[in-house]
Structure 1
Amino acid sequence: MITLRDIKLRFGARPIFGGMTSTITARDRIGLVGSNGQGKSTLIRVLMGEQELDGGAVEKASYVTLGHLPQDGLAVKGRSLRDEAMTAFENVLDIQRKVDAASARLQELDPANNEYAETLEVIGALEHHLQDAEAHKLPSRVERVLLGLGFEMADLDRDCGEFSGGWQMRIAMAKLLLREPSLLLLDEPTNHLDLDSLTWIEQYLKSYEGALMIVSHDRAFLDSLTTRTWALSQGRLENYNGNYSFFEKESVLRRDALKRSAENQQKQIAETERFIERFRAKNTKAAQVQSRIKALEKIERIEIEDEEATVAFSLPPAPHCGQVVLELQGVEKRYGDLEIYRNLDLKLERGDRIAIVGRNGAGKSTLARILAGVEPIQAGVREVGYQVQVAYFAQHQAEELDPTSDALSIAEAAAPQGQGRRARTLLGAFLFTGDDVFKKVKVLSGGEKNRLALAKMLLQPFNCLILDEPTNHLDMRSKEVLQQALREFDGTLIIVSHDRSFLDPLAEKTLEISRDGARMFAGNISYYLEKIAAEREAEQAAAAQNKYAAGAKSSSQGQPSNSPTSEPSNLSPKERRQLVAERNRQLAPLKKKCDKLEADIATMEAEYGELETAMMDPAFFKQGAETKEKMDRYESLKRNIERAYADWESAQEQIAGLEG
């Protein structure tokens, strides 16, 4: 479908592509990866025909169409959301306009006129094209995609200019998906999506008929969708027949094999050079020497790229604080007439590690700001615990940086006295290396400013850390470094993010924010998504059962029934037995699960009670390592009991639905 043939490109003295060759076929799912600055966005511009090459060519079939979603910079206004999305079908709309114009002309013509018959034929041909394009289905397709991306029915008639930047990107994505180009090029498509929309678009793209090329730092998204990986590094393109996780493992194996080949080649070269030096002066060996010299000149030396340095850093120990870190009581928050929270209660305890999730616009960032104390509330109380020190990273914190200062000065000023070296280490972890640390803020890119703001915040002492979308401008390596530091952090952690692979190892609880309020789940993001999926399945099953019961009731109206059960009276004995058997088949594992959970809860609560009793004795806290071990066990039991109760309640709800 598309062939990259020996493409070459330089920016000044710097080589970007050094003769890359590869192909893209009709159903490829390609993840385009590489460190920042390796040319991912440039390669997309090359494919789109927006970047001239110094050599080589991009060859594609005439029928191939390309669609590109950039990271930002798109905005539309002047049309309703529905009408803007419909512009994705401009060719079909153009046919409809021609039909409308021809129909209007028909009204003016005399039926006896030859032009009348000709116009009728034109309308018939055009309507045939509309039928082929299934024009009658386009409005429902538009609604499906817009609702899947998080818009609501009430939004469809709003002017596009009323939507913020993140929603503008969703409008662009909707139009792109509706156009269905042969190759869909997505540059960081997950940055502006919440978990619901992310789940929807994953499922949508899995069944996409064309080819995909995705640039993303969300490894869970890449692993779910891609089956090939193009890795860009120092002007070269390496092809891997697998997703990102496959690439990670395979790239290590390839590098090891290349090292061995390079070592063997060096041995052969050294032997050849020794032979040449030894026999250069002997006339009897002149021909052999010349032959070896020519062979040596023809050898293509194996070059090993310098491994990217992995900069590790750790957060300082969290200063001691009270058991309750932050508490909200009866909080109300409004923006004008828009109510965000009413009577919100929330208690965060020392050591909590909470992920905040929910649809965009539900109030996740607002809650983070309220917890951080930077957002006023209309009613209720926000209480900060004993000796709690809160550090807060906002999505737009980079805007507060002094544009005249350089990165190193800002980091060193934020670091505690005598920790200048740690400031430089942290900058390195966030890709500020060499002379980059002396760059003025005013010349930094948006991503660089964001990383600098994050580094500055992490240098300050705290025992409660609140992060709002901290990974949006971090590459894979920086995210891993940050994730590892946060895993070792012994304070309280609250994160707003949609990045599942980043959150899963960090979160032990998940707080869902919705219009109905806030719900806490005793598990990480994977656990939360499983619970939500189970809830939706139960809702669908209940809806199907209600629909079935309503249909059965309607069909049996007016007919007497002596049956004491809720089953429809017009079922045959065999059908009734089958219905009961199917219900019992579904109930059995749920009841078994409840029995096991009840036994587990009883066992854990007994141990939990014993530890609580032991902790009443002052001698308990003088046992050194044994005290710490028992305290860790106490906290672990507490979390496991909460999780078991949540699982038990969910199973009971499903049982009630089936027995209802």
Structure 2
Amino acid sequence: MLQLPDVIVASDLEVRVGSRTLVQFSGDHLRVQPGDRIGLVGRNGAGKTTTMRILSGETKPYGGKIISSGSVGYLPQDSREGRIDITARDRVLSARGLDQIQSSMDRQQEIMETSSDPHKVERAIAKYSRLEERYHTLGGYEAASEAARICDSLGLPARILDQTLDTLSGGQRRRVELAQILFAATEGTGKSATTLLLDEPTNHLDADSVSWLQEFLGKHDGGLVMISHDVELLASVCNKVWYLDAVRGEVDVYNMSWQKYLDARATDEARRRRERANAEKKAAALAKQAAKLGAKATKAAAAKQMLARAEKLVASTDEVRRADKVAHITFPEPAPCGKTPLQATGLTKMYGSLEVFAGVDLAIDKGSRVVVLGFNGAGKTTLLKLLAGVERTDGEGGIVTGHGLRIGYFAQEHDTIDPAATVWENTVAACPDAGAQDLRGLLGAFMFSGDQLQQPAGTLSGGEKTRLALAALVSSRANVLLLDEPTNNLDPVSREQVLQALRTYTGAVVLVTHDAGAVTALNPERVIVLPDGVEDLWSDEYMEIVELA
């Protein structure tokens, strides 16, 4: 049988952040080959995102080397595209260079139509012909249609593709980046040897788009490494699993499907516990016997040997994985406030001539619980930014602050975090009135301690950034929380912590989320539907919009 070539090989890989060793893996068994669909899993902070950056070539490993051949499509967790003055369509087409060719063709077309110089027209015709031939070679007009189909499948209709990136929401921009990578991977044939490295690809996708992505990835011929907390996606797509063990700092490789991996890991853990328990039982008996012998001076040497045997017996068994640490996520005890701490009247947002929404009125009463709904791009994130004072409304509307208002704002794109500052510096900036000891205790509850406090925030994973941003809210004593996708990038245990915090928080909450579980935990009283700004009492009929938006 012909052996397919390795596309990415990691040899003697060692991953560190600061002085922390996240991953050590001897040998060259971490391989990504065509047909491999690998789920990269582990708790938040285990090193998944850092490892993905290394595989993509964006970051160098602390030790070992990465050998890569062929094309790679990398979707980082926090996409930061370059130019934002180009259209979404051109951004996607740029994957094959079609945007530049189309632009050059348009310039030559303009010369042919407007120039009175026959020599210029002749040169333009010749250049246009060469460009058009190149355009057809790369798929040409069929490729543009294919790009549009991919975009539509990811919830980006034609009207969005004609907008510039700076007019799109964060979720729309991320879907444009995903569309660009998938468009590049198809190469006009529907098949490709491109290796896809996708970090949380379902963030900001609705249910239909997730279903389409599952089908696309399941048929992809090239290699795939994917980080996702979407268990259904992992189960439907992956045929291999790399588990990053945060306790041992190692990678366990499972060449099997997701369900078989879960079964194998459960069996392995049961074996470890059984063998460890037997060893500890025998060691305890040896230690008890050694204690009796040790009481006699003449038997001291024998007792010492017996104790050594007991220690060796326990050390020879595989270490039982300790339960992963869990962040103790809570929301602040709200400061006293008046009946209506926050009120908005006539909020309007424009991007150039494009109206996102207009004339939105909203009163946030003490302890009220409000969900903001609408399709992607309807302005949900923008509304929260206006309420938080991060952006200003267009027109005559505005924000009225009530007695005692304290706002706590959680930004979907972690805009409240300074990536160049350390974890500690970000926390001090967010909580200037708190003492150093209180802040250390707070960060410890959110699983930040030791050298991690001096780690630049920009090097944190998405889940770690989420925990850091949530930690900053706790000392704020906010009585109005503005939460934009607070469960994104969190592992299941941490997500449940956030849901519990939502259930028990007594202040007011304005929530934007695709997570139906978060809405259920909030138990909302009211809903604002954008872009029309319609306000209504909550009913379960709105849950369908949450899941599909």
Query: What interval of TM-score do these two structures reach, taking the shorter chain for normalisation?
Result: 0.5 to 0.7
- Indicate if the aligned counterparts of 1:148 and 1:201 stay in contact, CA closer than 8 A: no
Taking the TM superposition and a 5 Å limit, the aligned residue runs for 1:197-596 are 199-208=208-217, 209-210=219-220, 212-217=224-229, 222=234, 229-233=241-245, 234-239=249-254, 254-267=268-281, 300-318=316-334, 326-334=342-350, 337-372=353-388, 375-377=391-393, 378-380=395-397, 382-383=399-400, 389-394=406-411, 395-399=414-418, 406=425, 409-410=428-429, 413-415=432-434, 423-437=439-453, 439=454, 451-471=467-487, 477-508=493-524, 511=527, 513-518=529-534, 520=536, 522-523=538-539, 527-529=543-545
Matched, 1:19 2:51: no
1:478-526 alpha-carbon deviations (Å, 9 max, x no partner)? 4443332222112221122344555543353674644444464725798
- Indicate if the aligned counterparts of 1:468 and 1:497 stay in contact, CA closer than 8 A: yes
Max Rg structure: 1
Residue 105 of structure 1: aligned partner: none
Residue 141 of structure 1: aligned partner: 146
Matched, 1:175 2:180: yes
Q: CA deviation at 1:40?
A: 2.3
How far apart, in 2, do the equivalents of 1:401 and 1:83 lie? Answer: 31
Question: In 2 relative to 1, CA 145–36 (structure 1 residues): closer, same or farther, beyond 3 Å?
Answer: same
Q: Could you tell me which amino acid in structure 2 is paired with residue 232 of structure 1?
A: L
Q: CA deviation at 1:259?
A: 2.0
How far apart, in 1, do the equivalents of 2:459 and 2:147 lie? Answer: 39
Q: CA deviation at 1:232?
A: 0.7
**Number of residue-to-residue matches in the alignment:** 476
1:129-175 alpha-carbon deviations (Å, 9 max, x no partner)? x89x9876433211122234444434545677887876554443222
Question: In 2 relative to 1, CA 241–347 (structure 1 residues): closer, same or farther, beyond 3 Å?
Answer: farther
Question: In 2 relative to 1, CA 502–431 (structure 1 residues): closer, same or farther, beyond 3 Å?
Answer: farther
How far apart, in 1, do the equivalents of 2:366 and 2:477 lie? Answer: 16
- Indicate if the aligned counterparts of 1:75 and 1:169 stay in contact, CA closer than 8 A: no
Where 1:397 maps in the other structure, the secondary structure is: coil
How far apart, in 1, do the equivalents of 2:536 and 2:202 lie? Answer: 24
Question: In 2 relative to 1, CA 446–397 (structure 1 residues): closer, same or farther, beyond 3 Å?
Answer: farther
1:531-590 alpha-carbon deviations (Å, 9 max, x no partner)? 969xxxxxxxxxxxxxxxxxxxxxxxxxxxxxxxxxxxxxxxxxxxxxxxxxxxxxxxxx
TM-score after normalising by structure 1: 0.56
Where 1:237 maps in the other structure, the secondary structure is: strand
Cα-Cα RMSD:
5.3
Question: In 2 relative to 1, CA 443–270 (structure 1 residues): closer, same or farther, beyond 3 Å?
Answer: same
Question: In 2 relative to 1, CA 338–223 (structure 1 residues): closer, same or farther, beyond 3 Å?
Answer: same
- Indicate if the aligned counterparts of 2:427 and 2:472 stay in contact, CA closer than 8 A: no
Taking the TM superposition and a 5 Å limit, the aligned residue runs for 1:632-647 are none
Residue 48 of structure 2: aligned partner: 40
1:374-427 alpha-carbon deviations (Å, 9 max, x no partner)? 654433565556655433334422249987974664576444xxx876543431
- Indicate if the aligned counterparts of 1:315 and 1:458 stay in contact, CA closer than 8 A: yes
1:443-477 alpha-carbon deviations (Å, 9 max, x no partner)? 87596676544322321223321123445565555
Question: In 2 relative to 1, CA 304–443 (structure 1 residues): closer, same or farther, beyond 3 Å?
Answer: same
Q: 1:85 aligns with which of 71, 81, 92?
A: 92
Q: CA deviation at 1:86?
A: 3.7
Residue 604 of structure 1: aligned partner: none
How far apart, in 2, do the equivalents of 1:339 and 1:5 lie? Answer: 49
TM-score after normalising by structure 2: 0.66
How far apart, in 2, do the equivalents of 1:57 and 1:312 lie? Answer: 37
- Which range is displaced more, 202-211 or 515-524? 515-524
Specify every segment of 5 or more residues in structure 1 that has no aligned partner in the other structure, as ranges. Answer: 98-125, 279-288, 534-660
How far apart, in 2, do the equivalents of 1:347 and 1:40 lie? Answer: 41
- Indicate if the aligned counterparts of 1:468 and 1:496 stay in contact, CA closer than 8 A: yes
Where 1:398 maps in the other structure, the secondary structure is: coil
Matched, 1:70 2:76: yes
Q: CA deviation at 1:440?
A: 7.8
Question: In 2 relative to 1, CA 400–525 (structure 1 residues): closer, same or farther, beyond 3 Å?
Answer: farther
- Indicate if the aligned counterparts of 1:355 and 1:507 stay in contact, CA closer than 8 A: no
Question: In 2 relative to 1, CA 368–142 (structure 1 residues): closer, same or farther, beyond 3 Å?
Answer: same
Which structure shows the higher helix fraction?
1
Percent identity between the aligned chains? 29
